């Protein structure tokens, strides 16, 4: 098969100085298995396996830029050098297998200090159990969680500085891509949505004001990344709730992010409020990616119940997105990329150890 007739899913995508060999990528997925923010052997084997499985890009999980920015006490962090060095070993193993890896830089805001999914308890973790006081744009709790403190001006400045410091450590660890997490109801999304941002200062009210912190963070991360390292932004393009953040607002924010140096918008949805109503079905978030992409100003990725190579190829061929992130399917099959290439008849590199499975 020639390059001209190759499925679009298995054509390269060049972003700044980085050429990603294909467009089927591993979405960031929390493992809730870190100790004091330090990734463990679980993370190493979990992430490295995808490099052997044909992933064009692997995005490491939402990683706290500060201790209080973690979703749970078991989340990974990148606020100190011990964490940086542990990540560096993981990055090295992915690179040894020929893969590319990014990291999602995150602050959970009012959704921080929560129990991990399989814990015996639920909701917010109390201080005596290792939890902490959370922060947010306004003192409005996520349903069932503790009420956060509202960030003041100095606190907002510290958030920006922490994202920049985390970006520096991530680059020093060798990550190929940085992603700013502004989705799923976490801090930057909390600022974007009028359901959680009730401020009356320069960070609240109009969409321009609600996007101000995200763009400040993006400016700071872009400055650290300089011209070479791609910077993505993940957004929730709708809150799936009345009066919340809308796809049209997401498209406008995507344009602004492009103007501030973002290279791709990773389009997801939801997570801001517990009363969201989502019609979940295969590819249910693809129209949101298409809405952001139709501005023609910045590439986008689609995510959400994308489970076959044929489905992913159809999304790209339709013009709805430029790349595909998948999550659950990579967990089910860490060789999803090789399987999709086989299904679509694409010529892709296989680890020599696996060549016996290439055709039969």
Q: Which residues contact 326 (CB under 8 A, 6 or more apart)?
A: 24, 25, 26, 27, 303, 306, 307, 312, 336
With beta carbons less than 8 A apart as the criterion, state whether 180 and 141 touch: no
- Phi/psi-derived region of residue 357, left when phi > 0, alpha when psi is between -120 and 50, beta in every other case: alpha
Backbone angles phi, psi at 236, to 5 degrees: -95, 110
From the candidates 32, 186, 203, 284, give the one annotated as an active-site residue. Answer: 186
Q: Is 186 labeled as catalytic in the residue annotation?
A: yes
With beta carbons less than 8 A apart as the criterion, state whether 28 and 61 touch: yes
Instruction: Report the candidate in 260, 64, 265, 69 with the shortest Cα–Cα distance to residue 169.
Output: 64
Distances (CA, A) of 350 to 24, 50, 144, 294, 311: 15, 12, 47, 35, 22
Q: How many Å is the Cα radius of gyration of the chain?
A: 19
- Which residues form the catalytic set? 186
């Amino acid at each position: 098969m020639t390059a001209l007739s190759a499925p679009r899913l298995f054509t390269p995508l060049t972003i700044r100085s980085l050429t990603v060999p294909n467009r089927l990528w591993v979405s960031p997925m929390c493992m809730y298995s870190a100790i004091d923010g330090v990734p463990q052997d679980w993370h190493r084997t979990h992430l490295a396996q995808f490099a052997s499985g044909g992933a064009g890009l692997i995005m490491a999980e939402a990683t706290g830029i500060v201790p209080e920015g973690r979703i749970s006490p078991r989340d990974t962090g990148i606020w100190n050098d011990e964490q940086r060095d542990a990540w560096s070993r993981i990055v090295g193993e992915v690179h040894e297998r020929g893969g590319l890896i990014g990291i999602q830089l995150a602050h959970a805001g009012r959704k921080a200090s929560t129990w991990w999914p399989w814990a015996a308890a639920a909701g917010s973790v109390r201080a005596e159990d290792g939890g902490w006081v959370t922060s947010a744009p306004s003192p409005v709790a996520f349903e069932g969680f503790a009420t956060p403190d509202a960030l003041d001006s100095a606190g907002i400045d510290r958030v920006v500085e922490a994202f920049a410091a985390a970006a520096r450590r991530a680059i020093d660890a060798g990550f190929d891509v940085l992603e700013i997490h502004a989705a799923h109801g976490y801090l930057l999304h909390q600022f974007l949505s009028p359901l959680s941002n009730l401020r009356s200062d320069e960070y609240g009210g109009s969409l321009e004001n609600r996007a101000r912190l995200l763009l400040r963070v993006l400016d700071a991360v872009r400055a650290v990344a300089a011209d070479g390292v791609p910077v993505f932004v993940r957004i929730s393009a709708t809150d799936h709730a009345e009066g919340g953040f809308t796809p049209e607002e997401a498209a406008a924010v995507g344009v602004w992010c492009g103007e501030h140096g973002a290279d791709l918008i990773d389009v997801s949805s939801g997570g801001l409020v517990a009363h969201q109503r989502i019609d979940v079905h295969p590819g249910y978030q693809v129209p949101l990616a298409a809405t952001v992409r139709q501005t023609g100003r910045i590439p986008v990725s689609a995510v959400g119940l994308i489970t076959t190579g044929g489905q992913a190829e159809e999304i790209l061929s339709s013009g709805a997105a430029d790349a595909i992130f998948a999550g659950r399917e990579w967990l089910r099959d860490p060789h999803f990329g090789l399987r999709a290439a086989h299904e679509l008849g694409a010529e892709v590199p296989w680890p020599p150890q696996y060549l016996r499975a290439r055709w039969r």
